[in-house]
């Protein structure tokens, strides 16, 4: 018995999620929801025999299967999700939010998958957050010293950024930066996104900078923690990998670095370089940003269905 779900949003992220769920043994797409009857996502779903509507949230509410739908994945936009969240809360639906609206708690599967299984609305942060916050979390857990700062730069192909992503650039940076602090454990977080117009398109690449109170003696421990975390993420996103070993720069007490808003810092700066190759379920493999976001949401959906005995 599969748990019935609905997907709101027939753009890049929603369509990629649809194709992943169709291969899953736990969830069943009862309705795929868009607002443009001619969208590629809706047309593809229709060809596969998936029930569709182009009436948006209204079409979902009017669906004959609405009562049996247990989980709704929202892959629209942050502004739209604020309204969707209110409506679906009143209807008693579990919501997994793939927008940067951050109505519910942040979830990064390898960091806190089990912490919010009873929440009515969970937020999957952003594609950049899913790719980089696991590394920040690993650094924070590896040594007892404080993680003073975490900064990420996510570079994705312009072709993989649909209208929803482009409309949410500000929300992307704000939500990701906050999740670096809340989930990653950094005292201060910053996020930057780059839409790379290169043709042919380049694969998703991410740079993670962390400043942590640690010493040269901790380098092996930190390297191991980062590599183990990469392996854990790669278990559900096979194209996730380091491009080289982490790079360590040390600042001794005698020669600290000055950080605006913090003061003198002595410890280590770790630079971690990543790339994310997609599975190619919808867009080509360069669109790893879609893959890591939808794979994380799928992990959360299956876990919620299992924990609440919805299967």
**Which residues have a catalytic role annotated?**
127
With beta carbons less than 8 A apart as the criterion, state whether 152 and 193 touch.
Answer: no
Indicate left, alpha or beta for 261 from its phi (over 0: left) and psi (-120 to 50: alpha): left
The strands making up 121-123's β-sheet, listed across from edge to edge, are 52-53, 27-33, 3-8, 71-74, 94-97, 121-123
With beta carbons less than 8 A apart as the criterion, state whether 201 and 160 touch.
Answer: yes
Using DSSP, state whether 227 is helix, strand or coil: helix
Q: How far is CA 78 from CA 102, 154, 246, 269, 282, in A?
A: 8, 19, 34, 33, 22
Of 39, 40, 14, nearest to 29 by C-alpha is 14
CA 183, CA 69: separation in Å to the nearest integer?
Answer: 29
With beta carbons less than 8 A apart as the criterion, state whether 135 and 274 touch.
Answer: yes
């Amino acid at each position: 018995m599969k748990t019935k779900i609905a997907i709101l949003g027939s753009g890049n992220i929603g369509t990629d999620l649809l194709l992943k769920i169709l291969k899953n043994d736990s969830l069943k797409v009862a309705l795929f929801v868009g607002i443009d009857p001619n969208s590629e996502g809706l047309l593809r779903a229709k060809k596969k025999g998936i029930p569709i509507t182009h009436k948006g949230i209204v079409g979902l509410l009017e669906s004959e299967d609405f009562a049996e739908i247990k989980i709704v994945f929202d892959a629209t936009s942050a502004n739209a999700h604020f309204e969707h969240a209110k409506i679906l809360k009143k209807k008693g639906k579990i919501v997994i939010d793939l927008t940067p609206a951050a109505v519910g708690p942040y979830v990064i599967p390898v960091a806190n998958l089990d912490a919010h299984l009873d929440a009515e609305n969970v937020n999957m942060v952003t594609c950049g957050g899913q790719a980089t916050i696991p590394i920040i979390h690993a650094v924070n857990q590896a040594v007892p010293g404080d993680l003073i700062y975490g900064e990420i730069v996510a570079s994705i192909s312009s072709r993989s950024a649909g209208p929803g992503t482009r409309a949410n650039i500000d929300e992307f940076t704000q939500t990701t930066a906050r999740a670096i602090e809340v989930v990653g454990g950094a005292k201060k977080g910053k996020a930057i996104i780059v839409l790379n117009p290169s043709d042919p398109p380049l694969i998703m690449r991410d740079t993670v900078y962390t400043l942590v109170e640690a010493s040269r003696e901790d380098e092996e421990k930190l390297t191991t923690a980062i590599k183990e975390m990469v392996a854990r993420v790669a278990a559900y996103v096979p194209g996730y990998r380091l491009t080289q070993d982490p790079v360590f720069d040390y600042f001794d007490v005698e020669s600290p670095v000055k950080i605006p808003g913090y003061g003198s810092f002595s410890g280590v700066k770790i630079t971690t370089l990543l790339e994310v190759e997609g599975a190619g379920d919808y867009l080509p493999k360069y669109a790893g940003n879609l893959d890591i976001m939808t794979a994380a949401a799928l992990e959360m959906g299956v876990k919620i269905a299992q924990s609440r005995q919805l299967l």
